[in-house]
Structure 1
Amino acid sequence: MNRPIRRSGGRAARVAMRSAPLAEDKRPVRAGLPGGKFQALTDAEVTRIHHAALDALEQIGLSQAPPSGVEILTKAGAILGDDGRLRFPRALVEDMLAKAARNITLHGRDPKYDLDLSGTNVHFGTAGAAVHVVDVETNTYRDSTAQDLHNAAKITHALDNVHFFQRAMVARDISDNLEMDLNTIYACTSGTTKHIGTSFSEPDHVGPGLELIYKLAGGEENFRARPFISNSNCFVVPPMKFAEESCIAMEQCIRGGMPVLLLSAGQAGATAPAPIALAIVQAVAECLAGVVYVNALAPGHPAVFGTWPFVSDLRTGAMSGGSAEQALLTAGCAQMHRFYDLPGGAAAGISDAKVPNMQAGWEQGITNVLAGLSGLNMVYESVGMHASLLGFCLESLVLGDDVLGQVLRCVRGIDVTEDSTSIEAMKAVCLDGPGHYLGSEQTLELMQTEYIYPTLGNRMSPKEWNEAGRPDLIESAIARKNKILAEAQMKFDPEFDAAIRADYNIYFT
């Protein structure tokens, strides 16, 4: 009589393998996986958008540059018309594109979190300026605070698939704008050693902000060598206008050694044209003007090409950040970054849902996966953001780590190699083995490196789920959030933290 083959320690072996930490290069997903296998635009369409953007810069130009910007840009070759608009000859744009920084690194305070923005390497993170926090336990909204921002940074530090932390909320408990900007910097950097993105509400705040940043870096020279904070800069007010104060702040940040995100955030059907292609044209034109601006001031300064066109629900005019149109806009912008071979960033993962629910899941999943598959270097606002950028949810940030894990697995794609297509494993099972692959040597070898498993996502059978007390996803997210916050450590030593608090009015603990 044939006896069933027993796999000695089969389940125990699988459990042990799941719990054992993997080397970074063996993990199924990680920061900087190359994307780019999805193309929303053909090569001919990319070229058409490029030429339309150059036409817009030559024929329409941008208005309302500050006097310093006018001087910088006209000295480089831009033409100031009698109508006050600066126009950009094609040759000027091409010259500045040749000088622009490529293959840049956005540094973390800890080098293991450095972000390589070359090619189609993909990184996901937070962003935005939500003014509310979503309370999932009461399904209500309240004003966001400095403590919320600090907590979000601490949670981000613990999440493997969220690679950088750009300020996600406004500290509305701080009425003084300078104190708010300084608290934003410290709330972020004391919560995580990943790369930080911030912004300044007024140009006069850049100097005090840089003074604090240099202290955090251990000196200006250290920061310039490894700038771990970048400036998110809405240097334009679409359509085709410079934002004067933001431009002045950007100039100061560049002189201070901060990488900049050149952010154009028009809204299709409102401040950007309704056709998706033409919305991309306008965003590209505005960001190309930014490339000229930056490189006329400081050739080769690290800058992210931040085409962030958003979408309007044309029935109401309200923003529709979780729509399929938004996913296509972002994917198209990613192709334009690659066309110019510039480090690029755009928005995805925004949900129009007010709380983490099924709508939030499909909106975050669809927009993030297209951004990743398009090879977007920096995917901003990818987790935690609700109500079309008005609300940020800490539990959604935690849940988003699972979403991004699955997205990154899609970005990695299918490994087709001699080993992965060899039929020897099939022979071993079908001709001489038990007729299944469970517990086979190949399965055990690949279960952690080929497959990714959700931290909170539930794959139990209905019977198992019932026996486990019917665990609820939101309750699990609350529990993980609380555990992370309870275990998180301040990212500066106590003595240094005390010195900062003695010099600055810090609003969080």
Structure 2
Amino acid sequence: MSQSDASAPTRRSRRGGRAARLVAAEASVPIVPYITRNIPYYEVLDEEGLSLIESNADTLLEEIGIEFRDDPEALLIWKDAGAEVSGERVRFPRGFCRQIIQASAPREYTQHARNPERSVRIGGKHTAFAPGYGSPFVYDLEQGRRYATLQDFENLIKLTYLSSSLHISGGTICEPVDLPVNKRHFDMIYSHIKYSDKCFMGSVTAPERAEDTVEMVKILFGDDYINPETGRPKTVTTSLINANSPMTFDDTMLGAAKVYARNNQACIVTPFILAGAMSPVTVAGTAAQSLAEALAGMAFVQLVNPGAPVVMGSFASSISMQSGAPTFGTPEPALVLYIMAALARRLGVPFRSGGSLSASKVPDAQAASESVNTLLPTALAGVNFVLHTAGWLEGGLVMGYEKFVMDADQASMMEVLLKGVDLSENGQALDAIREVGPGNHFLGCSHTQANFKTAFYRSPLADNNSFEQWESEGSKDQPQRANQRWKQMLADYQAPAIDPAVDEALCDYVARRKASFPDSNV
């Protein structure tokens, strides 16, 4: 047992009443594998403005081009397709990448989970939330900031599995730095499979690690891996392919993209941009560059395997012009997010962005305000695949246990918002108004009695009681209540069932592959 679990209560420990009741109530909620929005999109540019951004992106692709580094096969693919290749620089005729994408990329796709009830629809009016990604550190109130371990990785998968507002198990939720770099992907993929039955993301840190992911999902899905109607593999992973902004893709990302595309697994092509350092300081300039990079990456995936699912990604943050440090929750990245979401809809592909981003070091007021100022635009813009929904601290360097459950609470609120207004007979509530009449209250009427359990969102963390009651219960602030909640969730966790034969085959594959090459920290 790691230190991160040392202070967590065991199954035999005495359970905190309020937290236990909330976890038990959550467990009884029907599975909602993803959200389908019923409210309009929020737009910040009209047709003229969006067309201008698209035209500027085509200008960048035509005049400047994109570098595809250290991958001769990628350059040959582009040359055969009709692009202009000079060294490692590829230039594209106007509209070239868009035509390739629109000819074959699906507007929506299903990512299949090992539990079919948790399969996720990506694209259209659907939204799916995934936790944070890539943090080398974790944080909790007792132990503070420390390097992440495999135990932390497993804990965060379990918390994701237990969080009804998180629909995808994620990928590298944190880096288990206690394992060799070149072998930790085995343990991460296995942990996603073992401790959750939700969809998950694959490894992208080397092409051979992407191959291992594919082999492991083939074992997991067995005869169900191939779609009998199409003869193609089912899409069971969605993995993150980042551009090296500005205007570059490296051989690691290209290699992983080729593996996943050839196996009909989805690729999220994301320009990772800190505006002012990796793109212009302006919203319009950053949006045009982001679109150009994403178009090139998605078109490349379609050339590798027409019809393989792609998601247009956007990660655009601002930086402090005084220190160069990344900043989050500011207005300019929100404007980029709104623009990129609209551009993805016009292109006809799913969109990834947003989350609960913060530069704060601890789960404080800064963390809350920055996260909500990222998550609300995420919901209003219409993001389909939301990465970094829960746990993000310190600009992504840290996954926070307390912040994880605080963010999951906010994601649940976004789900209620996106459902929109109930206009059914019950929602109109005319009978209630007739029953109560002027000058009376609604607390005892039959409509209120029938709806009070589900009428309003009930936060598992917010304290709405009197000062005296709050004080009598220990005067806990929200991070302290969140600390209690994540520990109770882990104490109550029960792993989803998995076929023992499949589990044995996965363990055998991992053991054989690990034994076939030496440990390395690169």
* TM class, shorter-length: 0.7 to 0.9
Tell me, in whole angstroms, the C-alpha distance in 2 between the residues paired with 1:254 and 1:350. Answer: 29
Pairing 1:504–2:510 present = yes
Give, as a single letter, the amino acid of the residue that structure 1 aligns with 2:114: R
Specify the SS of the correspondent of 1:74: helix
User: 1:399-431 CA distances to partner (integer Å, 9 max, x unpaired)?
Assistant: 212111222223333345676456553232125
Aligned-residue RMSD, C-alpha: 2.7
Aligned to 2:134: 129
Q: Which residue of 2 aligns with 1:8?
A: none
Q: Which amino acid aligns with 2:385?
A: M
> Which residue number corresponds to residue 432 of structure 2?
425
Three-state SS of the structure 2 residue aligned to 1:80 is strand
Counterpart of 2:178 in 1: which secondary structure?
coil
Structure 1 unaligned regions, length at least 5:
1-14
Instruction: Measure how far apart 1:118 and its partner are.
Output: 3.1
Matched, 1:211 2:215: yes
Q: 2:444 aligns with which of 439, 450, 456?
A: 439
Counterpart for residue 73 of structure 1: 78
Q: What is the aligned residue count?
A: 482
Structure 2 Cα separation of the partners of residues 385 and 181 of structure 1: 21
> How far apart in 2 are the matches of 1:312 and 1:251?
32
**Corresponding position of 1:12:** none
| Distance in 2 of aligned mates of 1:465 and 1:91 | 61
What is the DSSP-based 3-state SS (H/G/I as helix, E as strand, rest coil) of the residue aligned with 2:278?
Answer: coil
**Residue 150, structure 1, aligned to residue 128, structure 2:** no
Q: 1:364 to 1:21 in 2, by over 3 A?
A: same
- Provide the rounded CA distance (Å) in 1 between the counterparts of 2:174 and 2:215: 22
Aligned partner (choices 48, 63, 81) of residue 59 of structure 1 = 63
Give the direction of change, closer, same or farther, for the CA distance of 1:94–1:429 in structure 2 (3 Å limit): same
TM-score (norm 1): 0.87
Change in Cα spacing, 1:391 to 1:99, as seen in structure 2 (3 Å) is same
Distance 1:64 1:499, change over 3 A: closer
Separation (CA, whole Å) in 2 of partners of 1:437 and 1:21: 28
Alignment-derived partner of residue 406 in structure 2? 399
Residue 175 in 1 paired to residue 183 in 2?
Answer: no
Query: What residue identity is the alignment partner of 2:125?
Result: T
- Quick one: structure 1 residues 30 and 446, their matched pair in 2 at CA, closer, same or farther if it must change by over 3 Å? farther
Q: Secondary structure at the match of 1:90?
A: coil
- Distance change in 2, residues 1:226/1:446 (3 Å): farther
Residues 134/35 of structure 1: CA separation in 2 closer, same or farther (3 Å cut): farther
Deviation at 1:172, TM superposition (A): 0.8
Identify which range, 64-73 or 419-428, moves more after superposition.
Answer: 419-428
Amino acid at match of 1:114: S
What is the CA–CA distance in structure 2 between the aligned matches of 1:370 and 1:125, rounded to whole Å? 16
Question: 1:481 — aligned with what?
Answer: 486
How far apart, in 1, do the equivalents of 2:340 and 2:450 lie? 38
1:441 shift after superposition: 2.4
Tell me what 2:48 maps to.
Answer: 44
Alignment of 1:9-48 (within 5 A): 31-48=35-52
1:113 equivalenced with 2:130 (yes/no): no
1:230 aligns with 2:238: yes
Asked if residue 384 in structure 1 is aligned to residue 391 in structure 2, the reply is: yes
C-alpha separation in 2, matches of 1:38 and 1:418: 28
Which position in structure 2 is the counterpart of 1:315?
322
Q: Call closer, same or farther: CA 1:494–1:355 in 2, change over 3 Å.
A: farther
The alpha-carbon distance between structure 1 residues 19 and 196, as it changes in their structure 2 partners (threshold 3 A), is closer
Give the counterpart letter for 1:163 in structure 2.
H
Tell me how far apart the structure 2 counterparts of residues 258 and 110 of structure 1 sit (CA, whole Å): 18
CA distance in 2 between counterparts of 1:476 and 1:284 reads: 42
Q: Give per-residue Cα distances to partners, 1:133-180, cap 9 Å, x unaligned.
A: 112224x21111122111111110000111112222111111241x11
TM-score (norm 2): 0.85
Q: Using the alignment, how far apart are the partners of 2:72 and 2:224 within structure 1?
A: 28
User: 1:218, CA displacement in angstroms?
Assistant: 2.7
Of 100, 106, 117, 1:101 maps to: 106
CA distance in 1, matches of 2:417, 2:452: 16
The partner residue of 1:87 within 84, 91, 94 is 91
State the distance in 1 between where 2:197 and 2:338 align: 29
Residue equivalent to 2:369: 362
Q: Which runs of no fewer than 5 residues in structure 2 stay unpaired?
A: 1-21
- Out of 266, 269, 272, the position equivalent to 1:259 is 266
Q: 1:57 to 1:34 in 2, by over 3 A?
A: farther
SS of the equivalent of 1:134 reads strand
Q: Distance in 2 between matches of 1:466 and 1:488?
A: 30
Letter in 2 for 1:212: M
**Pairing 1:201-350 to 2, within 5 Å after superposition:** 201-218=205-222, 221-222=225-226, 225-234=233-242, 236-350=243-357
- CA deviations 1:78-126 (Å, max 9, x no partner) are 1113x64211112422321232111211222212222222323222212
Whole-Å separation in 2 of the counterparts to 1:503 and 1:60: 45
- 1:490–1:467: structure 2 CA closer, same or farther, 3 Å change rule? closer
